[in-house]
Amino acid sequence: MRAILHTLSYGNIEVESSRRLVDIKKLDAMNIFLKKMDIQIFNEDYEIPLRIYFPTEEAMTNGVEKGHTFPVLLFFHGGGWVTESVDTYNRVCARMSQSTGHIVVSVEYRLAPEYRFPTALMDCYAAAKALYTNKLILNTDPRKITIMGDSAGGNLAAAVALMARDNGEFQVYRQILIYPALYNTYTAASPYASVQKNGTDYLLTAVKMQDYLNLYESCPEDRVNPYFAPLLARDFSNMPETLILTAEFDPLRDEGEDYGKKLAEAGNYVEVHRIKDALHGFFALGIRFFHVQESFSYMNEFLKREV
C-alpha cells in the first residue's frame, strides 16, 4: 500500500491532465435520480452557476415556499482552486444533503489559472451574500445557514467568513472546514510539521500544494493577504462557530488544527477533530467508508447546536 501511495503521489500538477482525470466523475448514471435544481446569480457581470440539492421531496417544497425556512449548507468544492466542479461533486453534495437533512447549495466558482485570486473568492462571497440576504429562490434564515468547504473549498469558506465579518454586509453564524488549506507556503519554510512529515507519500504532496498556490495567486503579494491565507489574519475575534475536521496523514493537518486554536483563543466556539488513519480527500469517498461516517457524526452533532 505504501508503494502504491508513493507512486500515486509522484510529480507536479499538470492542469489539463488533472482536469481530465477528475472529469471522469461526471459520468455518473445516478445523477438523473438526484433531487437537484440549477440556478444562477451574478458577481458583477459574471453569471455564477449554483446547484441546489434537496434531502427530501418535502424540502423541495418547503425550501422555496414563502413562510418556510429550511437549514442550508453553502458548499465550496475542493480541487486546489484549479480542478473539480459542481458536476464532479454531485454525489458528495447529494450524500451530504441526505446525511445532514439540509439543503445543499454548491457553487461553481471560476478556476485558476484562467481566473486567479481573488476571482474564486469573490464568486463564493457573492453566492454567500445572495443566500444570506435572501436573494435566491430559497427562503432562508441566516441562523440556519452554514458555510462549508473541503481543502481549497475550506480555504474559500474561511475567507468568506473573514470577509463577511470585515465588510459587515451579512453575518455568518456557523462554518465547517474539512481539511482546509489555510497557509501560504508548503516548502521547508512552513512552520507546520505535517507538511514535512506527510508531504511526500500520501497522495496530496507538499510539491503539489505549492503548485496549486502558484497557479492560484495573481502576484507574490497575495501570499500575505489573509483572504488568500486565512491563518495570516491579525484578528480572529467575532468569527462563526466552527467545526474543523482534519486527516491524520495530510500535509494540511497541522494548519487546520492551528486555525482552530487561533479561533478558540480569540473567544469563538470551535470543535477540531482529527480523523484517525485518514488521507487528504477522504470526504469525497462513499458513505460506506468509516472515515466519512465518522465525519458526518461530528457534523450532525455540530449542526444541532443552537446559534
**Helix axis angle, 152-167 to 119-132, nearest 10°:** 60
Which residue out of 151, 190, 194, 295 is catalytically annotated? 151
Phi, psi of 279 (to 5 degrees): -105, 160
What is the amino acid identity at position 79? Answer: G
- Asked if 194 is an active-site residue, the reply is no
What is the amino acid identity at position 264? Answer: A
What are the CA-CA distances from residue 157 to residues 26, 60, 146, 161, 178 (Å)? 24, 25, 10, 6, 10
- Asked if 235 is an active-site residue, the reply is no
Max Cα distance, the chain (Å): 57
Which residue out of 87, 250, 254, 258 is catalytically annotated? 250
Which residue out of 102, 254, 258, 280 is catalytically annotated? 280
- Asked if 151 is an active-site residue, the reply is yes
Q: How far is CA 76 from the centre of its chain?
A: 4
Cβ(194)–Cβ(251) below 8 Å: yes
Query: What is the b/e burial string over 194-217, where b = at least 16 CB atoms within 10 angstroms of the residue's CB?
Result: bbeebbebbbbbbbbbbbbbebbb
The set of cell numbers assigned to 142 is 441566516
Catalytically active residues, by annotation: 151, 250, 280
